[in-house]
Amino acid sequence: MRYSPSRKEDTRQLLLEAGAAEIKRHGFAATGVDRIMQAAGLSGGALYAHFSGKNALLVAIVAAELEKSVRLLTGKPEESAAEALPRCLDRYLSLEHVQQPERGCILPALAAELGRADAEVKAEVSKATREFVAFWGAKLGKREAAELLLSQCVGAIVMARMMDDEARQQSLLDASKAFLLKQLLPVQ
């Protein structure tokens, strides 16, 4: 029998999505519960019917966001690295990603805040990055290459967002993309 989502489940999902967009845009510490709930069209107090508090919401958001990102950035295992890598890099290392954090990956959007988060949050991050590294490690032939890929992608978005002009943002992205393609793909 198929699982039928109740209205409560729908609301919970809405909170995860609205909350993710808000904290990716403004940061976790800087985002009040009220702002998230308003973005979802609800009052502040309604949060506590779904989560025990603000931090529990963060845990759920991080888990949901990373699952989505890993799905987007891995894809079919039978595809070759030469096919998959350019597609994923074009998507991730794009000016749109730099300029619209609320629609992008949660790792560069929260960045240092995830490094200070509690064990529950870090466990979600560790789990997702292990999956990512396992997938790309296999595809690229070396685990180290996948770890480098992950750091480089997150670092490039973080740094590009600090730049105050678009030309330098683009320059950073292009440098990273060209280098990764050249160095990680086996010679044709």
Written as one letter, the residue type at 111 is A
Q: How far apart are CA 89 and CA 105, in angstroms?
A: 13
CA angle 149, 156, 162 (to 5 degrees): 160
- Residue (of 118, 8, 100, 7) closest to 62 by Cα position: 118
Between residues 1 and 162, which has the closer beta carbon with respect to a second copy? Answer: 162
Between residues 14 and 133, which has the closer beta carbon with respect to a second copy? Answer: 133
Candidate residues 54, 147, 181, 185; the one interacting with a second copy per rule CB under 8 A: 147
Between residues 36 and 173, which has the closer beta carbon with respect to DNA? Answer: 36
Candidate residues 112, 167, 186, 188; the one interacting with a second copy per rule CB under 8 A: 112
DSSP state of 28: S
143 touches a second copy (CB under 8 A): yes
Applying CB under 8 A, the span of 4-12, 48-56, 75-83, 178-186 interacting with a second copy comes to 178-186
Provide, rounded to whole angstroms, the least separation between the CB of residue 188 and a second copy.
18
Question: 36 is written with which tokens?
Answer: 């998230």
Instruction: Calculate the alpha carbon distances from 10 to 3, 4, 13, 15, 16 in Å.
Output: 13, 10, 5, 9, 10
Site for a second copy, rule CB under 8 A: 26-27, 29-30, 101, 107-117, 119, 122-123, 125-126, 129, 143-145, 147-148, 150-156, 158-159, 161-165, 168, 171-172, 174-176, 178-179, 183
